[in-house]
Structure 1
């Protein structure tokens, strides 16, 4: 038995000859979710991942008695996970304890003042009035527009495949009417006059890898999504959610094979026939699902297969999200006046984002997201201690930062900023520390260009323009995860898994077709 973070995963199961075989490349949340759904649908599922436990970007590091979520820390659509568990014959609350966070965030401006961001409409209007009374009206009109976008772009389209051009064209008129050609910042600026409030209500695309000044305004829906359904946290960390989905895979007869890297997807004509592992082992499959970045899937896993839409270099030249510098640290004291989620806005907003996304230079200033899960979850830190991670958006590896020599200097600058603002005497109390840079995203997570969220969510890299959930190159290859429709973030990757599971052939039909083919041979 392989013991993984509290779940016991059995040794690999014998391959069944009565169920069609599905191979999933990658045990991120999207890959795990599609594996669980395909297992419930009737497939024999095998998931391969080079890491030693499930999660992908939602991995967890454990050291010195602390648990550090490696990546996502915010759950905004818990009902999607309830539906996932129900589809797989389980109940979410039996396996994972998800709790609401209130307030959502505290935002600290450079002058030391704070904005408390919550679901409470009256409290939000009071916070806005302290900065700019005239923008209270703008807040109301912005939330109304956010709701309209949410009800169409999210509720009606997020879990629908965009591999059909006729379907895309049928949605086009309304998407244009909703203003998808505008940026998030453009829409926010229409409603708010104050620059601080414009930054407060436009930063959300950064949570899914987008530049607010270029990300399609469809992502304004996040404001309504949060206000309606809240911001949540999985006790034990987000990786507890990934482990729970891995349990669903096992429950539905699937096999998870960790520490095993897929080297290539095997093909014959227009079909994927299985995968070859780095060890040389080949595994046959009736369908293959890639949870890897699309650029990795097409440029590396299918490097020997002739491609049409995603020919050599085309996908690699797309615009990718920023990278992330993340410092995980534990302290031997608690900072009780620091909440679960804090944003520290630096001295620049547009200029910093321009440096990160366009100029791709590592600036001297930064903005930070500070995560203190021990504010609500004592299980992630030893008694009397605090667990933190602080995240700084930085250029991806198309920039010229030499992280091998820069990482410690950058970390020290962040430490000094935190010590001067929120965490007094921090340097005296650190008892556990580790750093992750875009190099780790490239080397550990196989993220193209070290981008933290795969493709940037611009208008012409969204929906039909994104690599499709049903591959354009092979009839039985499917893609899920951050780089395909609908995009990054936990809701996005779960929706992509649902799309793939629904697009996958019915297992009974697939087996009948195989039997007929074998009989003819």
Structure 2
């Protein structure tokens, strides 16, 4: 990828905006094309009757990744965003039938180990050791795996890494659930440590235990929240891109990546117009990019490749504007079923089904941020992990989504009301919108209607994940949740940086050097 200095970026989610900003900062003339009328992709926003909802990610984790990205562009996360530390980080509510009391999880090693010890004698010391291992795995991932384009295997052949091969083998060959169950007995503690698998699009019963590193983030480091919601991250990056001259066009759907003599030369839009460029970066859903925007002989990852891969779960999102206060819920609340394994089997098994009851997640940003709801009201974002299957249907506003979707939403509302002790919750709902796998497929071209991207199974992680450039078409790069390094806003920021590393010919395994402190 050398020669030209003009680039077309397909997709205006966080990966597309970040890629455009980094390339423009590096001297490229960049045009960004977004099919929808608004930017953000999965990290979108919706407003109604004074309520403002994030329609995607709602946890701000891996803060140093955000910090690093903003510093690359001459600012800081704290300058770009109004960040608040959450305390408690989150609340856990168990099925009332278990008789287990709710737990408030406070971040910080001392607080977390004290909580575990109060629940299960000896669990505090076990958590201390677990978090030591998680922190070590996290630093290893950041330093060796997440920022590697894997254009060569030099990083993997480093003697310092090879000496850790036995440890890595154990972390990669045992599941996260087995790692947790070996050290903890109380189901709430097991679920606290296993639930991060959902953030990575998988099940703790199938995900490598290497990903216990996620517990370092919420239990050691803490959970932050940008006032205004996660959409403020999108707006901040959009500002940085525009300041660097990126030409951002919405309502500009790409229908074909143009190629000539084996290299990408631009993009054709739905209206029939075309744009030329020396570099094309697609941050659209990778399955859509490969199977719809490229010819058969140009596909690195054809349909046959996808047929043997695992998507993340689908999601039922229920956005609720509620009258009155809801102190029974924290900013983040997790509701866990007693038969947890059956819950994941329903989502990932064959045949699949919508779990009932479901282990679900509720975000109440109005607990922290008065701007997201009218005075005296609450804002709830409910996420129910369900199968990745567009046949589940599409959502709607005011209960007018497909019957199966609205029935599942009713069940989720009733479950929250019962488990959290809010018997009149349904009667207090003033605004309601549902989003389902059919919407992810239709609106975002998400493969099988998945909510997050390719699940982080062993064969879909690190060097086994789709690379960030086509093997068939020169000057065609990829970024986003299904390419390196993976799922989530921080990973998408890293994927943007990997594009810049590739065009620079940088094959180091760590983050790019930051400019002098601002």
* CA deviation string 1:298-354 (max 9, x = no partner): 1111134433x4234213431111000010010121113421000011232111101
- SS of the residue aligned with 2:53? strand
- SS of the residue aligned with 1:321? coil
Q: Which residue of 1 aligns with 2:213?
A: 221
Q: List alignment gaps of at least 5 residues for structure 1.
A: 1-17, 507-521
Paired with 2:163 and 2:172, the residues of 1 have a C-alpha distance of 10
Query: Shift in Å at residue 402 of structure 1?
Result: 5.0
Paired with 2:125 and 2:14, the residues of 1 have a C-alpha distance of 39
Paired with 2:302 and 2:377, the residues of 1 have a C-alpha distance of 52
Q: 2:388 aligns with which of 365, 376, 396?
A: 396
- SS of the residue aligned with 2:172? coil
Aligned length: 487
Task: Tell me if structure 2 keeps the 8 A contact 1:107–1:345.
Answer: yes
In the alignment, structure 1 residue 405 sits paired with structure 2 residue 400:
no
Paired with 1:175 and 1:74, the residues of 2 have a C-alpha distance of 32
- SS of the residue aligned with 2:416? helix
- SS of the residue aligned with 2:238? helix
Query: Shift in Å at residue 424 of structure 1?
Result: 3.3
Query: Shift in Å at residue 45 of structure 1?
Result: 1.0
Q: 1:169 to 1:19 in 2, by over 3 A?
A: closer
* CA deviation string 1:31-90 (max 9, x = no partner): 111111001000111111122222111100111111100010111122322332222233
- SS of the residue aligned with 2:182? helix
Q: Which residue of 2 aligns with 1:467?
A: 466
Task: Tell me if structure 1 keeps the 8 A contact 2:354–2:386.
Answer: yes
In the alignment, structure 1 residue 155 sits paired with structure 2 residue 143:
yes
Once the two structures are superposed, the pairs formed by residues 21-170 of structure 1 within 5 Å of their partners are 21-111=6-96, 113-168=101-156, 170=158
Once the two structures are superposed, the pairs formed by residues 241-390 of structure 1 within 5 Å of their partners are 241-307=233-299, 309-359=300-350, 360-390=352-382
Q: Which residue of 1 aligns with 2:164?
A: 174
Query: Shift in Å at residue 158 of structure 1?
Result: 1.2
Q: List alignment gaps of at least 5 residues for structure 2.
A: 395-401, 506-518
Q: Which residue of 2 aligns with 1:419?
A: 417
Paired with 2:497 and 2:347, the residues of 1 have a C-alpha distance of 33
Once the two structures are superposed, the pairs formed by residues 166-245 of structure 1 within 5 Å of their partners are 166-168=154-156, 170=158, 174=164, 177-178=167-168, 179-245=171-237
Query: Shift in Å at residue 226 of structure 1?
Result: 2.7
Task: Tell me if structure 2 keeps the 8 A contact 1:88–1:252.
Answer: no
Query: Shift in Å at residue 470 of structure 1?
Result: 2.4
* CA deviation string 1:444-477 (max 9, x = no partner): 1111001111111011111111110122222211
Paired with 2:53 and 2:154, the residues of 1 have a C-alpha distance of 45
Q: Which residue of 1 aligns with 2:511?
A: none
Query: Shift in Å at residue 19 of structure 1?
Result: 7.6
- SS of the residue aligned with 1:180? helix
Q: Which residue of 2 aligns with 1:433?
A: 432
- SS of the residue aligned with 2:212? helix
Considering only aligned residues, what root-mean-square deviation do their CA atoms show, in Å? 2.0
Q: 1:214 to 1:173 in 2, by over 3 A?
A: farther
Task: Tell me if structure 2 keeps the 8 A contact 1:101–1:233.
Answer: yes
Task: Tell me if structure 2 keeps the 8 A contact 1:40–1:87.
Answer: no
Q: Which residue of 2 aligns with 1:12?
A: none
Q: 1:91 to 1:66 in 2, by over 3 A?
A: same
Q: 1:46 to 1:175 in 2, by over 3 A?
A: farther
Q: 1:165 to 1:300 in 2, by over 3 A?
A: farther
Once the two structures are superposed, the pairs formed by residues 1-20 of structure 1 within 5 Å of their partners are 20=5
- Deviates further, 450-459 or 149-158: 149-158
Paired with 2:303 and 2:116, the residues of 1 have a C-alpha distance of 49
Task: Tell me if structure 1 keeps the 8 A contact 2:217–2:223.
Answer: no
Task: Tell me if structure 1 keeps the 8 A contact 2:135–2:216.
Answer: yes
Alignment TM-score, normalising by the size of structure 1: 0.89
- SS of the residue aligned with 2:389? coil
Query: Shift in Å at residue 236 of structure 1?
Result: 0.5
Q: 1:82 to 1:134 in 2, by over 3 A?
A: closer
Task: Tell me if structure 2 keeps the 8 A contact 1:162–1:485.
Answer: no
Query: Shift in Å at residue 108 of structure 1?
Result: 0.6
Q: 1:193 to 1:484 in 2, by over 3 A?
A: same
Query: Shift in Å at residue 145 of structure 1?
Result: 1.3
In the alignment, structure 1 residue 456 sits paired with structure 2 residue 446:
no
Query: Shift in Å at residue 28 of structure 1?
Result: 1.0
Task: Tell me if structure 1 keeps the 8 A contact 2:392–2:438.
Answer: no
Query: Shift in Å at residue 131 of structure 1?
Result: 2.8
Query: Shift in Å at residue 257 of structure 1?
Result: 0.8
Paired with 1:190 and 1:496, the residues of 2 have a C-alpha distance of 34
